[in-house]
Amino acid sequence: MLLQYFIVLWSTCCSLALARPSVRSPRQLPRRQEAPVDEVEHLSVCGVIIDEVNQGFNAFYAIDVYDCLISVPFHQAPALRFIEYYNTTMQFQSTLAHLKSPPPGYQQPAFDFMGGLEELKRNVTAGYFTRQYDFEVALQYLVYALNDAHVDLYAGILSVFSFASPVSLVSASIDGKETPKVYFADDILNRQENNLETPISAVSHINDEPVAEYLARFASLQSVGMLEPHADWNELMDSPVQDIQGIFSIFAGASTFFPGETITFSFEDPSMEKVELHWLAVYNIAEFTGPLETPGDFYNFFVLGLLPASYYNVSLPKVFGGSSGTEDVTADGATDDAPADGAAEDGASDGASGSSWYEASFHAFPENPDVVQDDLGLYEGGILTGYFYEDMSTGVLSTPHFNQYGLEVESFAQSLAKFITGAKERKLSHIIIDLQKNVGGSTGVALLLFREFFPGVDPFAGSQRRSHELGNTLGSATTRYWQSLTANTEERLELVANEWVIATRINDETGNDFTSWEEYEGPRRQADDDFSLVERYDLKNPSFHTAAFDGCLLDRYLNDDDENTRVMWKPENVVILTDGTCSSACALFLELAKNQAGARTVVVGGAPKAGPMQAASGSRGARVYTGSLLDDEMSWIGEKDEAVQPLLPPDRNDTGIFIDHVSFNLRDQLRKDDTSMPLQFRYDPADCRLYFTLDNVYNMTALWHDVFRAAFEDPSICVEGSTEYASQGGRDKPPPDSSAVAAPTPRPGVTFTVDHDPSTDNGLPAGEVLAKHSPRSPDTWGPCPAGTSTCSSDGRRCRTIRYTCDEGVFDETACAPSCQVQPGKPCIAFKADNIENSSQSSTKLKRAAVAQKNHMTPRPSDHVKGSKAPAKNRIPKTGYKRPKHNEPNLCSGRTQFPGVGRKKVGVWPPRTGSS
């Protein structure tokens, strides 16, 4: 029964199951069983995990994964090379200056990213890191502090796993007016599916802390790229729109930082017992790694991108498409056999029937939509559905993302036209455009949708970028090269929409195309930084359409008669519904629809407190750009123009650490009537905010009816204090103060080192690292006697211990054991091969690179934070014996060695700016 429970539970997280079981009284997970030592003595915990992955398992206990991650060694030289690469890359991030000193109304903490990166470099150079995990945690802490959904770093060992609560949560109000409470999602679904009238109990505490306080802190650290805490909160909660996209909530499957070993839930109902469960971890890698047995192997593969020497000599496991018969398939594919049946068996359908989202959403979406885009499904091209409600004279258009390219755009346009025609024929008076969980996609689709509902309105879509030396060098050389090409040649046409060709963009000041990059680069001065002039897309240029929108022509922008097209619905009769996570191209559409055309906005959810909430709290940037694309552009122009080569970075191929994906925001989106501040930093609340309710959180029809009532019949059902900022007749009120909670310091993976010598650059300490996992008695530690380096006759010696606490990095001297196994020898835990003398193959891991064209936004195949490929989900297993941890907790005042002063030598993690 327990095994079945977890199979269904994890299938639910992937939106692949048809129903969720109730977990009102979930049973506690079994403790990990100790495996015989002789079965695993040749494997580290990392090796055991990879071995089980090759058997088809992808879910593990979080503590086991954590033990693996903190065993991976750190090497200073690759880390420093990576910081150098990343520092150069992030010079192109457009928000650095404004984020360092944000304007009033910005809802997240100020942050000096470049200062933090410099502090991280100093800490690496000073030898503060001896574990790769600690370094990557500090690095990702900086990335998350940008609060920009266009900024992503998917590299190293933290990319291998995501952490997950074993139960999903939703936040809902009883009646829409009372403050929302937190519930198990399965309780909500069980109540709805079975038409239960009996009350369900809300969660009151998590880990003995009031649930709202715990989740607010959790969201401040783990949520990704949101501009205010309300959207951070919504990222933790499950939602049917999330289910149909096959993504985990942050809380139930997409957390980056280790959350702890166990989690306890207490309930408002005093008759319900406290529930203690284990945090889980999901393995994210969809490719065969080869045999990885030691932490050194783990480092070489996931940090350096090196294949193990025996990679091509081992059989390809069945779970990765290997043969199920007697003939094995090697990793190089040296057989003609077809993939095993089991490979397909482990996959799963996307839960969509092709005609509705009903099953994929656990019956939240209507079963019979009136309009359905062709190939509707998670792994297909269709996304759009439409619904006609004559009882409220409203058409509802649902578009959970804008990832439509090529023929998909044509299919989207046809379905959109069918929806508009159907709503017109039924004489429906109002439109609701549901953009919940819409994190963007194609800018062309956003512009298409805008034009269909708001004809005759010329979209501004103005933007700017940082004006800095390297960017101007790249742009100037690329623009000159493009201008030198013969007109209408294939190469010239392909480069029309290239980000570094400015001569095809409109200068907002003149209304004409820029004549040179030098005209464009400015600078304009903002927030003590330099920015370019304002650029706009030339939507009258068909060549720009073809290059920018994947071969599609948005005819409504090319047709001069479009401004005479009759408006179907007045803007005030169109409502845009979001949950605050609207990002990128979605934020562009929202800006145009609300602030240019005059549509209404309603936002739903948020933290359990009254007040306004912004409709678009994802990235409001105009262009996400990847490091790999930037590298390619530099390499390409260096080949085309040899004179520019000395002005470019010498070797962008040496990233130090293997990078799957790195991205940043290249251009800021701006408002038409005031280009002095990026939209990223403007407070822009929705006209009305609603709470989710028990009746509508998993019932889209009920939710849409509530939105209609709030927008057109009874604004009193809006959350108290949320309508005072309404764009439809609201008063000019200053934005609220930020309610952001300072992100807690991620738990470091190591608490002390011994005799670390920062002068070595091979990543290993001059003295061996004390065994984190070696059993020892607490009484073997103590203060050093004055005037001597010898503690006692048992061989213990005075050593300098460097340890990390929330308030900083400290050095302290103490008596430490030599080794309890072989006296006189150092205690070593999982020792990895020195990378300078590794016996493993130096063959670079050949992972498929995403081929990006000159699109406004990344292709669907780009990594998106939180997205997960389907895989076999089973109960976590163990295959190694966990020794006891008996090291003293040096951060606790009770266990600091008496009579010995400690010296602060660094900060943890590197943090700069207010928080």
Please report, for the chain, the start and end positions of each structural domain, with discontinuous segments joined by +.
464-550+624-664, 752-847+886-915
CA distances from 157 to 8, 56, 127, 296, 660 (A): 28, 20, 20, 12, 11
Average pLDDT over residues 550-557: 89
Q: How confident is the model at residue 595 (pLDDT cuts 50, 70, 90)?
A: very high
Average pLDDT over residues 200-204: 96
Confidence (pLDDT) at 809: 52
Considering only residues 802 and 632, tell me which one the structure prediction assigns the higher pLDDT: 632
Model confidence, pTM:
0.79
**621, 665 contact by CB (below 8 A):** yes
Return the minimum-mean-pLDDT range out of 312-316, 465-469, 515-519, 707-711: 312-316
- The pLDDT tens digits of the residues spanning 7-30 come to 333 333 333 232 333 322 322 223
Average pLDDT, the chain: 80
The Cα 565–Cα 693 span in angstroms is 40
**Residue 376: closest CA among 395, 399, 406, 405:** 399
Confidence (pLDDT) at 192: 87
Render 454-519 in DSSP notation, one character per residue.
STT------EE-B--HHHHHHHHHHHHHHHHSPTT-HHHHHTTT-TT--TTSEETTTSSB-S-HHH
Average pLDDT over residues 695-710: 98
Confidence (pLDDT) at 533: 99
Considering only residues 640 and 889, tell me which one the structure prediction assigns the higher pLDDT: 640
Confidence (pLDDT) at 379: 80
Considering only residues 604 and 4, tell me which one the structure prediction assigns the higher pLDDT: 604
Instruction: Please say if the pLDDT value at position 833 is more than 60.
Output: no
Confidence (pLDDT) at 739: 79
Q: How confident is the model at residue 586 (pLDDT cuts 50, 70, 90)?
A: very high
In 765-851, where do the E strands start and end? 797-805, 808-816
**687, 601 contact by CB (below 8 A):** yes
Q: How confident is the model at residue 787 (pLDDT cuts 50, 70, 90)?
A: low
Confidence (pLDDT) at 660: 94
Confidence (pLDDT) at 565: 76
Instruction: Please say if the pLDDT value at position 792 is more than 60.
Output: no
Confidence (pLDDT) at 815: 58
Confidence (pLDDT) at 745: 72
- The pLDDT tens digits of the residues spanning 373-432 come to 999 998 889 999 999 999 999 999 999 999 998 889 999 999 999 999 999 999 999 999
Instruction: Please say if the pLDDT value at position 96 is more than 70.
Output: yes
Tokens linked to 911: 């943090």
Residue 422: what are its φ and ψ, rounded to 5°? Answer: -65, -40
Confidence (pLDDT) at 88: 98
Considering only residues 910 and 305, tell me which one the structure prediction assigns the higher pLDDT: 305
Confidence (pLDDT) at 728: 53
Confidence (pLDDT) at 28: 29
Confidence (pLDDT) at 725: 78
CA distances from 383 to 397, 400, 536 (A): 11, 7, 28
